[in-house]
Amino acid sequence: MNKILLCCAAGMSTSMVVQRMEKAAKDQGIELEIKAIGIEEFQQEIDKYDCCLLGPQIKYKLADFKPIADSLNKPISVINSMDYGMLNGAKILNDTLKLIQA
């Protein structure tokens, strides 16, 4: 089971993305765990997940978080703004699975 961490300013808008990703995973028969958190929880949670996605509104945090994620060998990326805005859970899920497998 893949474990995906989504991080945004407060973890609220990302929760809607989580719901769409979970639905897409269920439709595809993929087992996964996704958790949405706020910026302040990143360091406490990253080691428990396979990868981390940042909401586009906090893409500026990638420079701070990438060295931490790299030190734990965890891929990290920013969610595409269009996919995030359109709540395209299936696209975000597929991009995330590619990120984990890369």
| Residue 30: closest CA among 98, 102, 93 | 93
Q: Which helix (H) or strand (E) holds 77?
A: strand 76-78
Residues assigned a catalytic role:
8
Q: In angstroms, what CA-CA distances link 42 with 29, 36, 51, 74?
A: 28, 10, 11, 12
